[in-house]
Structure 1
Amino acid sequence: MNILMLTNTFTPHVGGVARSVAETTRQLEKLGHKVLIVCPSFEGTESTRKVLRVPAIEHFRDTSFSFPLPIPSGVHRAIDEFRPDVVHS
């Protein structure tokens, strides 16, 4: 099964949501599923085959969270090519 996970918090941010997404991804992959994570881009991070980073404003309103900016068209194409069976946000 192809599972798309959308999150506004992921590594290198340290916290419960980032850890939950990472561990859930590991367990789903151990079961043979493919997972694509769409999350904010942070300084020093890059997109990979498994993690698609989108532009975001870091530390939105003086918090440790990011606020995604309008998504570039390449993200839509990558999601279409991944063909998710399940979307988790």
Structure 2
Amino acid sequence: MGWTIERPGGGVVLHELGCIRAPADGPELSLDDAVTAYTWPGARACGKCAAEVLDRLWKVPDPDGPHGNAPSPGLAPF
């Protein structure tokens, strides 16, 4: 499985290669590169492909609310 990104309006959206929403000319990224890109301010994962797994891996339940998410302290960018 590979990954790619698009940059709509200055943001970053990560996609699985082959996602119907991924740009045809987007760069192919390794998992390490995709995770690094995900740490960029404003980056998000596509909700229509396997990139959404990054949201589940990256975020943990917020102790202040039943449905909130907060970055995992172990994966926070430097």
Which TM bucket (shorter chain)?
under 0.3
Taking structure 2 as the reference length, what is the TM-score of the superposition? 0.24
Instruction: Choose between structure 1 and 2: higher helix proportion.
Output: 1
Greater relative CO, 1 or 2 (CA 8 Å, sep 6+): 1
